[in-house]
Amino acid sequence: MLFPTTDFAIFFVIVFAVAWSLASRPAAWKVFLLGASYFFYGWWDWRFVFLLAASSALNQGAALGIARAGAGGLAARRWLVAAVTANLGLLGWFKYYGFASLNLDHLFASFGLGQPAPLIVATLPVGISFFTFMGLSYVIDAYRGVLEPSGWLDAFVYLSFFPHLVAGPIVRGKEFLPQMTGKLDHKRIQLSRAAKLIAAGLFKKVVISSTLATNIVDPVFAAPSQHSSLEILFAVYGYAIQIYSDFSGYTDIAIGVALLLGIEFPQNFDRPYTARNLQDFWRRWHITLSTWLRDYLYIPLGGNRNGRVASYRNIVITMVLGGLWHGAGWTFIFWGLFHGVGQVVGHARRQRAVPEAGVAPPRPSSPARVFAGQFATFNLVCLGWVFFRAD
């Protein structure tokens, strides 16, 4: 979190009280939420508030330009290309420039083409991956005609709303913006559900995740050669639990806080470690990201429309880029490749069971078969987490 826990609690109590007092005045309520979100983001580094505002203005301007030009036309396509280029350019500069330049310098130096130059590393704005992906989905949905661009104030609140700003979930405009119409109805606030989510999220993050990280995971990953095989195994499994508790815990808090402000977010986790294969895992883990990658990357690449080989290629490309989205490093790229190849192998195994007629024979779902699939998948995911976590 950007705030220390105590400061965040005080911040939210103030926001909650003022937001509820403005419930009957939608415009004032939205202005206050926008100001509170910028204050929340600026607490870490006030300069990046201007970046967030510029990103919001860029995407709102492009969405309105597409709407005026008519979705699907040449002028709309130009607006789309400009917006996608600008969004990816900002993300690339802040998140990937240092990584790319370092690797290119070393590549050229290995061929005797000069020496590596001093590395320029831009400070990475917190949450830039999340608000960039939300901005992209907003513009692309406007181009596809599945979303009518909102007014400027609503769009700015959507793209900067503090519960999802730092670590998601990745909420789409068509899910968020309809909830901004009308007055905040106190009767629709799900107080008990919100309280349970916030309490569960805090327990996951503060108790489970922090305890595992401090006592088991961090010491082993920092110096694996100083630990036994059994200790390393416990650390690998511990990290699987830690990262789930940390990420799903934050998501629970974000969903609960948003509910108290009258906004409902989509589900982001669905018992991912009960998945029976890697494809099933990605239907359950970070759902808003996996569906974003499917709808805005995998399907535009061609999905499964151009044959089996093309489908496998698109899966691998999508997962590699999804890994790179998590961080600028070869470990993240390999992690994405690991999951992409794993899904391809799983697809190939299942497709071999499909006869000429194209109808898969029924397979018994005995408890032993279910457990075997879950056990194998969980251990594959844990193996992938090793590369994700390793320095």
Q: Any idea which residues carry the catalytic annotation?
A: 326
Residues with Cβ within 8 Å of 213's Cβ and at least 6 positions away in sequence, in order, are 242
CA distance 259 to 281: 27
Tell me whether residue 261 is exposed, middle or buried, using C-beta atoms within 10 angstroms of its C-beta: 0 to 12, 13 to 18, 19 or more: buried
Closest Cα partner for 1 from 162, 212, 196, 219?
162
CA distance 221 to 216: 9
CA distance 324 to 318: 10
Q: Are 160 and 131 in contact (CB under 8 A)?
A: yes
Phi, psi of 252 (to 5 degrees): -60, -45
Kindly report the CA angle at 342 between 335 and 268, in degrees rounded to 5? 65
- H runs (alpha helix) in 43-172: 48-69, 74-91, 97-110, 128-144, 152-160, 162-165
Half-sphere exposure at residue 364, Cβ-oriented, CA atoms within 13 angstroms:
4
Q: Are 260 and 193 in contact (CB under 8 A)?
A: no
3-state class (DSSP) for residue 200: helix
Q: Are 189 and 259 in contact (CB under 8 A)?
A: yes
Q: Are 173 and 147 in contact (CB under 8 A)?
A: yes
CA distance 38 to 77: 31
